[in-house]
Amino acid sequence: MEKDALELTKKLISCPSITPEEKGCNRVLIEALGHSFTTRLINRGSTTNLWATSGHGTPFFLFAGHVDVVPPGENGWIFPPFEPTIKDGKLYGRGTQDMKTSVACFTVAATRFVSEHPECGTIGMLITSDEEGDGKDGTVFAVEQLSKEGMKPDCCIVGEPSCNSVLGDTIKNGRRGSLNGFLIVKGIQGHVAYPDKVVNPIHKVVPFLDDLVNTEWDDGTEAFPPTSFQISNIHAGTRAVNVVPGECKITFNFRFNTLHNHKQLEKFVEALCKKHHLKYQLRWQESANPFKTEGTKLSEALLAAIEKTCGITPKFSTSGGTSDARFISKWCPDVIEFGPTNQAIHKVNECIDVKQISLLVSVYYETLKNIFKKAK
């Protein structure tokens, strides 16, 4: 399985699939799945979603992932980012960690398992090309369509890079919620030399932002880290040194645990705007709700597979950013993220230790064995 997974990973990396384009990844995967899986595309806009299934009945196990990647970025790549290259035991290329390796590994594990256990139940795969984008034409749309058709998996592994130092050290069994705010603070534009004739929106917004930045939202919970607030962008001005701007635009984000919800945070911020007498426009983007999976058949099956394959006991974690698991969790509550180490994701010279590939295939394969063995 190791050789097959490595070669499949290389083929996927060779496809320059910058979101939302798959650039040939689906053809590669359909060929790798062979006759054991029935495949079809669920597309919208520029996004291509591959749906593949094998078998019938229960349990219904799902692998989910994405083949789109972020742009390579600035110069500094040792090797061309879409020409997979092995050096000193590492495979270089955009998508090696996030997350073409996982897609290759669970494809190889699933096809082998199906060939050895043809009457096991149902195994599905959902692969999108829009995870690095807003996801609305990707997993969100695909799940909507599959739900209408009566498809409902019992459990799902999303192959996001979950581990910190070594393969197997971390399972992501939940994520915090995410809320984006887009604030425009209005002022009165004018000459800097006449402060009595202007209203500087930057000056107005600074005390407001100071309040937000210094607010302690909570201490976290046993399962989740503390809620956090971060400013991601501030823009104001005409680029002239002698003009007070007429408005200031601020983009910010909350990552929140189960002690809060979208509406509570939105209400707090809007009350703070009024407290500081801001003239403002505020738009919200509710990106994700917090979710957590614990003590399920999947978590037990994956834990046992990691201990057997990697020789370590993983920690469960809800830290980090969002993934398509936030959409799948509404459809399939027993969802977990597990994949390779993540120290190089989205970076120049993204790479993965080649040894992780064989281990990851085995972890996925052993998890399938544990899930379907319990079902007998």
Supply the DSSP symbol for 319.
Answer: -
* Number of residues that this document lists for the chain: 376
Q: Which residues contact 339 (CB under 8 A, 6 or more apart)?
A: 97, 99, 101, 102, 159, 160, 161, 162, 163, 360
Q: Which residues pair with 256 in a beta bridge?
A: 177
- Residue from 16, 339, 354, 375 nearest 168 by CA: 339
Task: Tell me the residue ranges of DSSP E strands in the chain.
Answer: 38-41, 50-55, 60-66, 85-87, 90-92, 122-128, 155-158, 170-172, 174-175, 177-186, 190-191, 228-236, 243-244, 247-256, 280-288, 291-292, 315-317, 335-337, 351-353
- Residue from 308, 311, 255, 316 nearest 286 by CA: 255
68 is catalytic: yes
Sign of CA dihedral 9, 333, 265, 182: positive
Query: Which residue out of 4, 130, 131, 160 is catalytically annotated?
Result: 131
Supply the DSSP symbol for 165.
Answer: S
Query: Which residue out of 4, 21, 22, 68 is catalytically annotated?
Result: 68
Amino acid at 206: V
Supply the DSSP symbol for 369.
Answer: H
Tokens coding 90: 């590492």
131 is catalytic: yes
Q: How far apart are CA 178 and CA 46, in angstroms?
A: 25
Q: Which residues contact 38 (CB under 8 A, 6 or more apart)?
A: 52, 53, 54
Q: Could you list the active site residues?
A: 68, 131
